[in-house]
Amino acid sequence: MRVQDVLASAVRNSFRNKLRTTLTVVAIFIGAFTLTITSAIGTGVSDYINTQVTAIGTPGIFTISKATQTGIVSTGPATYDPNAAVSSGGSVIGPNGPTGLNGGTAALSKEDLASIAATSGITAVNPLIAVTPDYIQYANNGTYKLRVNTNAAISKASLAAGNQLNNSTSDLQLLIPTSYLENLGYTDAASAAGSTVTIGIKDYQRVSHTVTATVVGVQNETLLGSGAELNTALLTELDAIQNTGKPTTTAEGYAAATATFDPAMSSANVKALQKTLADAGYSAKTVADQIGTFQAVIDGIVGVLNAFAGIALLAAGFGIINTLLMSVQERTREIGLMKAMGMGSGAIYALFSLEAVFIGFLGSAIGALVAIGIGTPLSSFLSNTVLSGLPGLNILQFAPASIAVIMAIVMFIAFIAGTLPASKAARQNPIEALRYCAELNY
């Protein structure tokens, strides 16, 4: 029998009992639809994260902090060390008290910075200066709380308008996030770029000061959190005000530092370097690592959804077995006749397993098409409403390659499901098959 004839008969045969085939196809459809949607979410999210990493990540920089000490619950509190630096007392947090948990988080001391700088592969270490200004005001539109995003040092902003910060100028510059525009009294992002704002801050003695700075640009919200980003000149200025009147006896410490390394370093070497620092008690993270945490969570959710889709497909596989077993039973005499006429067992086997594969193809193709048909408008609807805070995120992205893989997997499952009925058909004895139900007279 020719391949195209086997194929044509398999397709024709699968439509003989339309209701039965339809119900089996529906079962496969459910699995394939779910799988297509979840893989689209996976693609959409990782695509967004990759774009974020490449758009805002600066290669060759770690954010370094003291590794969090674990095991306090089981071993009780650690021994008190009067010389250990705590970030609340340092220049990091300033006069308004710690922003972290009570007592402050473990901070990096000057010795820590020196030992990190001595690590081979690290070219430079700079403590992260954190400032806590009180408010920001544009024109006479009232004062609003200003949150400073400390990630400015390790990322470049994804801009909605204006320019990037210039860290080598003595001009005081900042970037504000898009979410600040309305409250501050701007009409749009373009009007904010280049405007002058007033920033209020208190010194160590709680005396208020104001600083005037230029908004050079407006940045999109990112996964790294919102908040204004300040250039080095503005940071230094605010830090100086913050530490005015500070007693000289306070221990110096920093919540975090940035360490630079060769941007061309291979990812394996970066991992090794992170391991070396981790062994020394420091947590070193690149922008990709920080954003990757989100990906790990999303991957977990997608994995669970995929498992559900897999269970649906498993059930559908049994549906295929059932459908084809009934089909083999109904067509016993036909199989006997074809065998009597010289059709080989292999061709009979191929006929039934192709029927199974075709049912799998129908279910997965319809599932994928419907998923695309529903998912595409849904994704753009979500982007404009619920997810509008994350510009550039299309939650559902249908990659042709992953759809092809899903269809191949479904068709493979169908093929496996078809093996039992197909081999039952192929093994039939022509004489017994011809005698089967002789009273059926057709």
Partner 1 sequence: MNQILEARDIVKSYGQGSSKFDALSGVSLSVTAGETVAIIGKSGSGKSTLMHLLALLDEPGGGELLVNGADASKLKKSQLNHLRNEDFGFVFQQFFLIPNATVLDNVVLPLTIAGVGAKERRARGLAALEQLELTDKAKSKAINLSGGQKQRVVIARALVNNPKVIFADEPTGNLDSVTGAIVEDMLFKLNREKGITLIIVTHDADLAARCDRQIFMRDGREDKAGIVK
Could you list the residues that contact partner 1 (CB under 8 A)? 1-2, 5, 9, 12, 16, 333-334, 336-338, 340-344, 347, 430-431, 434, 438, 440-442
CB 439 within 8 A of CB 339: no
Shortest distance, CB of residue 331 to partner 1, whole angstroms?
Answer: 9
81 vs 439 by CB, closer to partner 1: 439
Shortest distance, CB of residue 362 to partner 1, whole angstroms?
Answer: 19
Shortest distance, CB of residue 408 to partner 1, whole angstroms?
Answer: 28
127 vs 336 by CB, closer to partner 1: 336
Q: If 0-12 CB within 10 Å is exposed, 13-18 middle and 19+ buried, where does residue 69 land?
A: exposed
Residue with tokens 């997608």: 302
Shortest distance, CB of residue 1 to partner 1, whole angstroms?
Answer: 5
Strands 143-145 and 173-177: unpaired
109 vs 353 by CB, closer to partner 1: 353
CB 273 within 8 A of CB 121: yes
Shortest distance, CB of residue 307 to partner 1, whole angstroms?
Answer: 41
- What is the identity of the amino acid at 247? P
CA dihedral for 181, 185, 188, 194, sign (positive or negative): negative
Which DSSP letter does residue 254 get? B
Shortest distance, CB of residue 368 to partner 1, whole angstroms?
Answer: 30
347 vs 420 by CB, closer to partner 1: 347
CB 66 within 8 A of CB 113: no
5 vs 111 by CB, closer to partner 1: 5
Q: If 0-12 CB within 10 Å is exposed, 13-18 middle and 19+ buried, where does residue 436 land?
A: middle
15 vs 381 by CB, closer to partner 1: 15
- The helix (run of H) or strand (run of E) holding residue 208 is strand 208-219
User: What distances in angstroms separate CA 346 from CA 81, 356, 421, one per listed residue?
Assistant: 80, 15, 13
